[in-house]
Amino acid sequence: MHANSTLYARRRAANFAFIALSLGAALFGLVWLAFILGALLKDGIAALGPHLFTEVTPPPGAEGGLINAIFGSVVMSLGAVLLGTPIGLFAGTYLAEYARHGRLSFVVRFVNDILLSAPSIVIGLFIYELIVVPMGHFSAIAGAVALTVIVIPVVVRTTENMLLLVPNGLREAAAALGAPRSYVIKLVTWKAAQAGIITGVLLAIARISGETAPLLFTALNNQFMSTDITKPIASLPVVIFQYALSPYEDWHKLAWAGALLVTATVLTLSIIARLLEKKRT
Amino acid sequence: MTDITLQEPAALTSRAHKARRAGAGDTRFRLVTLAAACTVLLIFMGIIVSLVHGAMPAFKAFGFSFVVTEAWRPVREVFGALGPIYGTLVTSAIAMIIAVPVGIGIAIFLTELCPRLLRRPIGIAIELLAGIPSIIYGIWGLFVFAPWFQTAVQEPVIEALDGVPVLGTLFGGIPYGIGIFTAGLILSIMILPFIAAVTRDVLETVPSVLKEATYGLGSTQWEVMWKVCLPFARTGVVGGAMLALGRALGETMAVTFVIGNAHKINPSLFAPGTSISAAIANEFAEATSPLYTASLIEMGLILFVITFIVLACAQLMLRTMNKHAAGH
Distance, in Å, from the CA atom of A187 to the CA atom of A281, rounded to the nearest integer, reads: 21
Distance, in Å, from the CA atom of A116 to the CA atom of B95, rounded to the nearest integer, reads: 20
Distance, in Å, from the CA atom of A255 to the CA atom of B139, rounded to the nearest integer, reads: 8
Is the CB of residue A112 less than 8 Å from the CB of residue A90?
no
Confidence (pLDDT) at B2: 46
Q: How many CB atoms lie within 10 A of CB A65?
A: 19
Q: For residue A101, with 0-12 CB atoms within 10 Å meaning exposed, 13-18 middle and 19 or more buried, which class applies?
A: exposed
Confidence (pLDDT) at A110: 95
**In degrees rounded to 5, what are phi and psi of residue B79?**
-130, 130
ipTM for this model: 0.93
- B28: chain A residues, CB-CB within 8 Å: 182
**In degrees rounded to 5, what are phi and psi of residue B102?**
-65, -40
Residue A248 in contact with partner chain B when CB distance is under 8 A: no
Distance, in Å, from the CA atom of A77 to the CA atom of A137, rounded to the nearest integer, reads: 20
Distance, in Å, from the CA atom of B212 to the CA atom of B207, rounded to the nearest integer, reads: 9
Strand partners, B73: B78
Give the residue among A261, A34, A206 at the shortest CA–CA distance from B189. A34
Residues 6+ apart with CB under 8 A from A5: none
Distance, in Å, from the CA atom of A181 to the CA atom of A162, rounded to the nearest integer, reads: 18
Model confidence over B52-86: pLDDT tens digits? 999 999 999 999 999 999 999 998 889 999 999 99
Q: How far is CA A249 from CA A31, A63, A69, B214, B215, in A?
A: 28, 12, 19, 60, 60
Give the residue among B227, B230, B257, B226 at the shortest CA–CA distance from B241. B230
Distance, in Å, from the CA atom of A151 to the CA atom of A209, rounded to the nearest integer, reads: 11
pLDDT at B175 over 70: yes
pLDDT at B21 over 80: no
Does A181 contact B29 at a Cβ distance shorter than 8 Å?
Answer: yes
- B192: chain A residues, CB-CB within 8 Å: 29, 32
Residues 49-68 of A with CB under 8 A from B: none
> pLDDT over 70 for what percent of chain B?
95
Give the residue among B137, B53, B92, B62 at the shortest CA–CA distance from B306. B92
Chain A, chain B: beta-carbon pairs less than 8 Å apart:
266
Confidence (pLDDT) at B283: 92
Does B223 contact A15 at a Cβ distance shorter than 8 Å?
Answer: yes
Q: For residue A192, with 0-12 CB atoms within 10 Å meaning exposed, 13-18 middle and 19 or more buried, which class applies?
A: middle
- B247: chain A residues, CB-CB within 8 Å: 117
Does A119 contact B307 at a Cβ distance shorter than 8 Å?
Answer: yes
Closest CA–CA distance from residue A227 to any residue of chain B (Å): 22
Q: What number of residues does chain A have?
A: 281
Confidence (pLDDT) at B22: 72
C-alpha of B288 from chain center:
30
Distance, in Å, from the CA atom of A68 to the CA atom of A239, rounded to the nearest integer, reads: 10
Q: Mutate one of A109, A114, A164, A263 to test the B interface: name it (highest B CB count within 10 A).
A: A114
Does A274 contact B124 at a Cβ distance shorter than 8 Å?
Answer: yes
Instruction: Flag the least confident range among B149-153, B318-322, B324-328.
Output: B324-328
Of B37, B104, B277, which has the smallest distance from its Cβ to A108's Cβ?
Answer: B37
- A24: chain B residues, CB-CB within 8 Å: 105
Confidence (pLDDT) at A241: 94
Model confidence over B231-266: pLDDT tens digits? 998 888 998 899 999 999 999 999 999 999 888 899
pLDDT band at B287 (very low <50, low <70, confident <90, very high): confident
Residue B228 in contact with partner chain A when CB distance is under 8 A: no
Chain A residue whose CA is closest to B191: A29
Confidence (pLDDT) at B1: 42
Between B297 and B116, the more confident residue is B297
Residue A218 in contact with partner chain B when CB distance is under 8 A: no
Confidence (pLDDT) at A257: 94
pLDDT at B302 over 90: yes
Does B25 contact A180 at a Cβ distance shorter than 8 Å?
Answer: yes
Is the torsion defined by CA of B263, B266, B272, B277 positive or negative?
A: positive
Confidence (pLDDT) at A200: 92
Does A125 contact B297 at a Cβ distance shorter than 8 Å?
Answer: yes
Confidence (pLDDT) at B114: 84
Does A87 contact B36 at a Cβ distance shorter than 8 Å?
Answer: yes
Low-confidence ranges of chain A (pLDDT < 70): 1-3, 279-281
- A13: chain B residues, CB-CB within 8 Å: none
Confidence (pLDDT) at B311: 94
SS3 for chain A is CHHHHHHHHHHHHHHHHHHHHHHHHHHHHHHHHHHHHHHHHHHHHHHCCHHHHCCCCCCCCCCCCCHHHHHHHHHHHHHHHHHHHHHHHHHHHHHHHHCCCCHHHHHHHHHHHHHHHCCHHHHHHHHHHHHHHHHCCCCHHHHHHHHHHHHHHHHHHHHHHHHHHCCHHHHHHHHHCCCCHHHHHHHHHHHHCHHHHHHHHHHHHHHHHCCCHHHCCCCCCCCCCCCCCCCCCCCHHHHHHHHHCCCCHHHHHHHHHHHHHHHHHHHHHHHHHHHHHHHHC
Distance, in Å, from the CA atom of A251 to the CA atom of A242, rounded to the nearest integer, reads: 9
Q: What number of residues does chain B have?
A: 328
Of A25, A40, A89, which has the smallest distance from its Cβ to B136's Cβ?
Answer: A40
Does A26 contact B105 at a Cβ distance shorter than 8 Å?
Answer: yes
Distance, in Å, from the CA atom of B196 to the CA atom of B199, rounded to the nearest integer, reads: 5
Does B53 contact A129 at a Cβ distance shorter than 8 Å?
Answer: yes
Strand partners, B273: B260
Distance, in Å, from the CA atom of A94 to the CA atom of A85, rounded to the nearest integer, reads: 14
pLDDT band at B130 (very low <50, low <70, confident <90, very high): confident
B50: helix, strand or coil? helix
SS3 for A190-259 is HHHCHHHHHHHHHHHHHHHHCCCHHHCCCCCCCCCCCCCCCCCCCCHHHHHHHHHCCCCHHHHHHHHHHH
